[in-house]
Structure 1
Amino acid sequence: MNLNKLNVTELNAQEVLEVEGGNKYKKAWKLIEKGLTLIGVADAVERFVDGWNSESCGCNK
């Protein structure tokens, strides 16, 4: 990496990762987190629908 093109003389570790395209594991973990969030949302919706359908409004007597 040529630091002269960046107009700096030194970078810390985080800055080096950002310049080089980021940490692959960090990107993978973000994708995993999004997947887990989607699973959690789907589970919450399913529980809501099950609870909604289990209530009787008295309309079908």
Structure 2
Amino acid sequence: MQQTRTAASLPIPSHDLSVVYQAALAMALGLFIVGFVGFSHIDAVHNAAHDVRHSNAFPCH
């Protein structure tokens, strides 16, 4: 008797997991950077981010 496999029982290819891990790490890094710069009390960090926003034509105020 031959067993049939369903989609739920198939292993997930490691390449797909790698893409998911990379996307999750990229989002976490982005949130960390935005949160650090957005709530930083260090003037140099705030001013650097402010200048980058203006040089990219992104309105910030």
- Compute the TM-score of the two structures, normalised by the length of structure 1: 0.52
For 1:44 and 1:32, the matched residues in 2 are separated by: 18
CA separation in 2, counterparts of 1:22 and 1:34? 17
RMSD between aligned alpha carbons?
2.5
Larger Rg: 1
Distance in 2 separating the partners of 1:22 and 1:48: 38
Identical pairs, percent: 3
* 3-state SS, counterpart of residue 5 of structure 1: coil
Query: Displaced runs of 4+ in structure 1, greater than 6 A?
Result: none
Task: Work out the number of aligned pairs and report it.
Answer: 41
Gaps of 5+ in 1: 9-14, 55-61
Match for residue 36 of structure 1? 26
Higher relative contact order (CA 8 A, sep 6+): 2
Q: How does 1:1-61 map to 2 (within 5 A)?
A: 4-6=2-4, 15=7, 19=10, 21-50=11-40, 53=41
